[in-house]
Amino acid sequence: MPPDALLDIRDLRSGYGGKPVLAGLNIRVRPGEIVAIIGRNGVGKTTLMKTLMGLLPTTGGEIAFKGQSLNPLPPHARARLGLGYVPQGREVFGRMSVTENLETGLSICGGRAPAGRMDEIHGYFPILQERARQRAGTLSGGQQQQLAIGRVLMGAPAMVFLDEPSEGIQPNIVQDIARLMVRLNAEKGLSVLFVEQNIDMIRAMAQRCYVMDKGRITAELGPDDIRDRAEMRRHLAV
C-alpha cells in the first residue's frame, strides 16, 4: 500500500450469489480526504459500501485500511479498527429514543463512551440534544440522517462511509449536513467516502470524485471538475 493511503481498494470484486456486481474496482482515499462515488442507479455503489464494511463477501481483490487487510475481518472488527457506516435509508431504531440510538453507537467501544463524547456529538448536532427523549421514528428525514451520523461518531471512527446521505432530505438541510461533514473533517480530521447523486451535496463536500459504471471506476474528478456543473451533470447521467 502506498504510504499516503488510508483506504486502499485494489481490483475489488463482489456480488450476490452467482451474480457479479463489482468487477475489479480501484479506489484510494488519503487520511483527511472527503471523496465521493458518483454514478447512475444500479451501478453498484451500495454494493461497494456493503463490501467495504464486510456485510457482503469479497470475491476478489483487496481492501486495506491503515495498512491492514480488511478481507478476513467481520463487520464489527472493521468498525473497531475505525470505520463507521451510515447505510442508505439511515436505519435508525424508530421505537427507541434519540439518546438510546446514540448509545447503540457505543457498542464498538465496549458500550461505554469516554467522558464528553455525548456532549461532543450534541455540540455538532444540537437537534439531537433538543430531541433527546423523542422516538427516532418521529424525527424528520434530515434529523434522522443527523442521528445516524451522530450514532457512528459515538464510536470515534477515523473514517466514515455514507450511502446517499441526501436521500429524502430537503435542500437546506442537505447543505447543513454537508457543512457539518466538512467541519468534522477540518476539526477532527475525519475521512469520508460517500455515495451521492445530489450535485449540490457533492459540490459542498467532495474534494475528489470517482465515477462508477457497471462495477468499475471509469473516471476520477478533481476540484476543477467538481466546480463545473455541466461536467458533473454529464457524469451523473453516465
Three cell numbers at 186? 477540518
Taking CB under 6 A as the criterion, the residue among 47, 51, 101, 185 binding ligand ATP is 47
Residue 45 in contact with ligand ATP, rule: CB under 6 A: yes
Q: 43: which 3 cell numbers?
A: 451501478
Q: How many residues does the chain have?
A: 238
Fill in the per-residue mask, 113 to 142: x = in contact with ligand ATP (CB under 6 A), - = not in contact.
------------------------------
Residue at 104: amino acid letter: T
d(CA 146, CA 131): 12
| 55 versus 81: smaller Cβ distance to ligand ATP | 55
Q: Quick check: 44 binds ligand ATP (CB under 6 A)?
A: yes
Which is closer to ligand ATP, CB of 45 or CB of 151?
A: 45
Is residue 172 a contact point for ligand ATP (CB under 6 A)?
Answer: no
Task: Report how many residues bind ligand ATP under the rule CB under 6 A.
Answer: 10
Distance CA 166, CA 96 (A): 23
Which residue number, 54 or 105, has a Cβ lying nearer to ligand ATP? Answer: 54
Closer residue to ligand ATP, CB minimum distance, 118 or 206: 206
Q: Residue 51 or residue 146: which is nearer to ligand ATP going by CB?
A: 51
Cβ-based nearer residue to ligand ATP, 5 or 63: 63
CA distance 238 to 230: 13
Helix, strand, coil percentages (3-state) for the chain, rounded to 5, are 40, 25, 35
Binding positions for ligand ATP, 12-41, rule CB under 6 A: 16, 19, 21, 41
From the list 185, 198, 231, the residue with the least C-alpha distance to 38 is 198
Q: Provide the grid cell at 67.
A: 495498512
Which residues, other chains included, contact 189 with Cβ-Cβ below 8 Å and sequence gap of 6+?
31, 32, 158
CB of 61 to ligand ATP, least distance (A): 16
Within 13 Å and on the Cβ side, how many CA atoms surround 111? 0
- Binding of ligand ATP at residue 211 (CB under 6 A)? no
Which spans of this chain sit near ligand ATP (rule: CB under 6 A)? 16, 19, 21, 41-47
